[in-house]
Amino acid sequence: MSFGEREATDMASGDSSDYGAFLEKFILEPISSSPEHPLKGLTFAVKDIFDVDGYVTGFGNPDWARTHSAAISTAPAVLTVLRAGAKGIGKTVMDEMAYSINGENVHYGTPTNPCAADRVPGGSSSGSAVAVGAMLVDFSLGTDTGGSVRVPASYCGIFGFRPSHGAVSTSGVIPMSQSFDTVGWFARDPVTLNRVGRVLLQLSDVRLVVPTQILVPEDCFQLSNIPSDQINLALVKSVENLFGGNIVKPINLGEYVKDRVPSLKHFMCKVNEDQEYNIPSLAALSTAMRSLQRYEFKKNHGEWVTTVKPDLGPGISERVWEAMRATGEDADICCSVKAELRAALTDLLGDFGILAIPTVPGPPPKLQTDPTSLETFRARAFSLLSICGVSGFCQVSMPLGLYDNLPVAVSLVAKHGSDGFLLNLVETLYDTLKEQIELARN
């Protein structure tokens, strides 16, 4: 068992030329209004949740596409990268109604994971991640509500960035749950990730700021079935080489959140204590997030779902109809949890602190795994994903090569509004991190 370098594998089936990533291909030419064109020469793909003038936004479901007209304008996020000189080449497959982290779509086919063809690509921005991982485009746009950029980035061995909540316009994007929806992006290298981020976030070039501390929550790494020392050793040594070892500090994040987010008590009683190892306070955080998500999804799409009664795939159908029963009785408490968590984590990290966590609890599951057998994995995943989902902080998932021939990743988290700091840090850190991974292999 060892870490290794990612290589795109051949498709097991389907169109090997595009790994099943694209729903439809078309050309969006760059818009020549920016004198600098920071993305000139780069190609991108866009998730089928973004409006593109003249095309139906399909939301991952044929019944949605059938009952909606073509968009009459293009989403600002898409226009922004076009104005920066990038060239669009099509729309990508996504999970139906953005309601999954697996990446499997029974209607349009499941995009093939370029790292492991027998594994799920991750969702709901599956096609966007696969298009980048398979080297079909230089970057791509996705959305992340509960983990829909971070998860497929981890599964496909690429970079995925979830920005601070509200930092990138979600106008012209079909809403899933506005309290958590973000526009994110994928790239194969940290330089491109940073270039795209500076355009979308409208950031000027800024110098690297040395992080004041990098917190490593040992309880979070215990959620992962990848040996934590394999990940932590490479990360810690990289930080030591660049910034000195005194800034790396262990922490028990679950206890900190439990003590500092009092409104979570309302959800703690709903956590399954018999569940195979999880962190109760983070599991409660996940419960709060998904409760508000269901309620907002119902407000957004309940009338359409109950009227059209769309054909939905397994797993997604159950989640959508569960959302139709949401009452919103916990909505105010969920909002309190959001505010308290953001304040608590801001106090913890300060302006230039970093939290390092596993992106997900392990490598991508096999295709068509029975949903019940995924329950423990999903529960652990959402415990990790809800940290940024609920706080609104920014998070980057970084690939760490392969472990047992499957892709693994680690995430870095920074406070709300510190996106530029985090992007710069990843670009600076990653070469050293790769060297440490290579040393660990040998």
- Report, as residue numbers or ranges, the catalytic residues: 47, 124, 148
Alpha helices in 16-61 (DSSP H): none
CA 140 to chain CA centroid, Å, is 13
Contact 142, 152 (CB under 8 A): yes
**Torsion angle of C-alpha atoms 173, 175, 176, 181, degrees rounded to 10:** 70
CA pair distance 194, 35, nearest whole angstrom? 19
CB-count burial class (<10 Å; 0-12, 13-18, 19+) for 423:
buried
Spatial CB neighbours of 88, under 8 Å, sequence gap ≥ 6: 26, 27, 28, 43, 44, 45, 46, 52, 78, 81, 82
Contact 75, 284 (CB under 8 A): no
CA pair distance 416, 165, nearest whole angstrom? 7
CA pair distance 92, 252, nearest whole angstrom? 39
The size of the chain, in residues, is 442
Contact 40, 85 (CB under 8 A): yes
**Torsion angle of C-alpha atoms 98, 176, 68, 108, degrees rounded to 10:** 0
> What's the longest Cα–Cα distance across the chain?
60
The tokens for 384 are: 């990790």
- Could you give the angle at which helices 280-308 and 375-391 cross, rounded to 10 degrees? 90
Spatial CB neighbours of 390, under 8 Å, sequence gap ≥ 6: 180, 285, 288, 289, 337, 338, 341
